Amino acid sequence: MTDNLTNTQNPKYLPTNDVIFKCLLGNPGNERITKSFLEHITGEEIEEISTNFKLELLKEKPKDKQMVADLIAKDKYLQKYIVEMQRKAYDYLPDRFIAYLSKTYVADIKVKEDYKKLKRTVLVVLMEEDFPNLENIQEYHTVWHYREENHKEKILTKNTEVHILELEKYKRHKKQTGEIDPWLEFFINPYGKEVQEMARTRAELEEAVKQLRLLNADEEVQQLADAEDWARYDYNSAMSEMKEKGLAAGLAEGRAKGLAEGRAEGRAKGRAEGRAEGRAKGQAEGRALGEKETNLKIVKKMLEKKMDIDLISELTGLTKKEIENLL
């Protein structure tokens, strides 16, 4: 065991930080870590691995930068594995994933080329928040394909696959059952007792902890990781403040509208029933209006601070086109 694993002072940045995540799984020399992680998640044996990652991409100006939400690894047979850390959940997330999976799937084929050249593409997403619309599914690791509606065992194609790993669900599962997933445990508590014990018999996990400490000691990576954390802190603070103001304004408008509608309907149907129904409807509309205005104000502030459009899209759920229209 190296001194890196026994150091009592734990570094600041966790592997869930987007910059650290990409460096850890994308840096040249870390292929063994990436291969082990992907094999563990997909259950497949992967021969060789390479990635598209370059630290310089994270330092470019947002308007010059393509989407960096995505680390793409390729194996010996050119099968592609998209690996993403998603820290914020929003309703349009599934559509974003399907769009990006499809885009990556066809990226290496030219017009009129044989479709047989398409290579299998797998999307692996680690979620910090619970995934939208999966509240009734207890499993923290779900696997998705295109299936026939009435014959669930029939898969349209095996060439695309999505793995969603929900870290909050994993925490609940661990608390209830005591079962530990080595790699998910690493992502939520890399310096914990469980990871240190597992790293004694898992060389790739030990190497991941070592590389995590080295990344935390790299000044250039620190600056980028710090900017990532501060951008999210600014967003969360602004969102909290603006939501309070927007909710207050929305409720006030909702109450006024609700009372007016309630009185009108109350004359016809009875004052008590009409006011209740009108108030509820008005408050709902007021909240919706307030939240919409709040989101637009927050996005404008983020743009003024020169925040990355891709990051704004990830945090707010707005499309890049909707954000660019505000410029």
Local confidence pLDDT in tens for the 327 residues of the chain: 444 444 446 778 999 999 999 999 999 899 999 999 999 999 999 988 998 888 876 766 444 344 444 688 999 999 999 999 998 888 888 998 999 899 999 988 888 888 889 999 999 999 999 998 888 899 999 999 999 999 988 999 999 999 999 999 999 999 999 999 999 999 999 999 999 999 999 999 999 999 999 999 999 998 888 887 777 766 667 666 666 666 566 666 666 666 666 555 555 555 555 556 656 666 666 666 566 666 777 777 777 766 777 777 777 777 777 777 777
What does DSSP assign to residue 155? B
State the distance between the two ends of the chain, measured CA to CA, in whole angstroms. 52
What pLDDT is recorded for position 270? 52
What pLDDT is recorded for position 62? 46
CB 228 within 8 A of CB 88: no
Question: What's the Cα-to-Cα distance from 275 to each of 261, 285, 290, rounded to whole Å?
Answer: 7, 15, 21
- Is 78 in a helix, a strand, or coil? coil
Residue type (1 letter), 135:
E
- Residue 118, Cα to own-chain centre: how many angstroms? 26
Residue type (1 letter), 311:
L
What pLDDT is recorded for position 55? 80
- Is 134 in a helix, a strand, or coil? coil
Q: pLDDT tens digits, residue range 117-145? A: 999 999 999 999 999 888 889 999 999 99
Parallel/antiparallel/unpaired status of strands 121-127 and 80-86: parallel
Cα separation of 300 and 193, whole Å? Answer: 44
What pLDDT is recorded for position 161? 95
Cα separation of 129 and 287, whole Å? Answer: 23
What pLDDT is recorded for position 202? 95
Partners of 71 in the beta sheet?
83
What pLDDT is recorded for position 225? 87
Token pair in block for residue 215:
């990344």
What pLDDT is recorded for position 113? 86
What pLDDT is recorded for position 246? 61
CB 116 within 8 A of CB 108: no
Q: pLDDT tens digits, residue range 187-235? A: 999 999 999 999 999 999 999 999 999 999 999 998 888 887 777 766 6
Residue with tokens 């898969």: 155
What pLDDT is recorded for position 2? 42
